[in-house]
Structure 1
Amino acid sequence: MASYNRVILIGNLTRDPEVRFASGNNAICKFGLAVSRNYTTRDGEKREETTFVDIDAFGKVGEILGKYLSKGRPVMIEGRLQLDTWENKEGEKRSKLKVVCENFQFLGSGRGGDEEGSGGGGYTRSSPPPRESSSRSGGGPAEDFDDEDIPF
């Protein structure tokens, strides 16, 4: 049976990203995202429904998100759903659905969390971040760039 696990979300951060480093200096970035849905009821009343999603990002993606995002900032996240399961102190089985970020796009101007539109840069695990100039030598992997290479 075929399966496909892909999620695309646009929302605002509910808290500042928390970055930690695991073995091998691999970054793990965790943050929350609020995603709103506006709709009109049958009675014509406008309503807003907000879903809160936990996001995890690893490696260079996690480092960049942790460095440039903050509470309130808008961002587009692309990734996959992952179910975490564990037992609590009382021995009860618990589970939580989260999104593992694989790609992202910064939104807004970066000066406030409420601005709409696109701007800033994006990044995928399979490609290096955008470069400001093609005259720079190298062009190696994503781990090989400076903060000055990010176009915002």
Structure 2
Amino acid sequence: MAKDLNKVLLIGRLGTDPEMRYTASGSPVTTFRVAVSRHWKDGSGDPREETEWFSIVTWNKLAEICHQYLSKNARVYLEGRLQTRSWEDQQTGQTRYKTEVVANDMIMLDGRRDAPSASGELTPPFGSAEPQRTEPILPNFDDDLIPPLDIGDEDIPF
């Protein structure tokens, strides 16, 4: 049976500066809104644009990083999940709902210098002489130490 999936990937721009608060237990939580635009051409070939606004919530270390390094109009990549919360409106007594993206990963796409990634590693400053790695660093294994496998076609299960 297939598992359920709740995953959101967004690239957009902050519409507000992030706001950080602390829960009663002292955990930092940062909220902000992100605009994501979609571009296309209509039937007559005219360019069209539609913008969706998403409410974003980050917690703990990621909340601190977002609060410290993001600002209005910053371009970001966010990964997270959708969550809907509810509360009772004190003025009307009605139940209110809000759907938010609870982000668990963030990458600053503007390349802000000396800013940590969500993992806490510093990004190199602009114009850094050190090239960016695009491949993971793999350990150097000596192939001579690994004995060859003696497998025939009859040993393969398919």
What's the TM-score bracket when you normalise by the shorter of the two chains? 0.7 to 0.9
Report the counterpart of residue 36 of structure 1 in structure 2.
Answer: 37
Distance across 2 between alignment mates of 1:78 and 1:109: 18
Asked if 1:3 is matched to 2:4, the reply is: yes
Report the counterpart of residue 120 of structure 2 in structure 1.
Answer: 129
8 Å contact 1:105–1:121 — kept in the other structure? Answer: no
Distance across 1 between alignment mates of 2:93 and 2:25: 32
Distance across 1 between alignment mates of 2:87 and 2:27: 23
Match for 1:75: what amino acid? V
Deviations 1:104-138 (A, max 9, x none): 10101339xxxxxxxx6532xxxx422xxxxxxxx
Query: What is the identity percentage for the equivalent residue pairs of Structure 1 and Structure 2?
Result: 36
Report the counterpart of residue 104 of structure 1 in structure 2.
Answer: 106
Unaligned runs of at least 5 residues, structure 2: 126-158
Unaligned runs of at least 5 residues, structure 1: 112-119, 131-148
Match for 2:96: what amino acid? R
Match for 1:129: what amino acid? G
Two-structure CA RMSD over aligned residues (Å): 2.1
Deviations 1:36-61 (A, max 9, x none): 11011112111110001110000000
8 Å contact 1:79–1:103 — kept in the other structure? Answer: yes
User: Relative to total residues, which structure has the larger strand share, 1 or 2?
Assistant: 1
For the pair shown, the structure with the greater C-alpha radius of gyration is 2
Distance across 1 between alignment mates of 2:26 and 2:86: 25
Segments ≥4 residues shifted beyond 2 Å: 149-152
Deviations 1:65-112 (A, max 9, x none): 00000001101110000001122121222211110010010101339x
Distance across 1 between alignment mates of 2:116 and 2:107: 6
Q: Map 1:81-120; keep pairs closer than 5 Å.
A: 81-88=82-89, 89-110=91-112
Distance across 2 between alignment mates of 1:86 and 1:24: 20
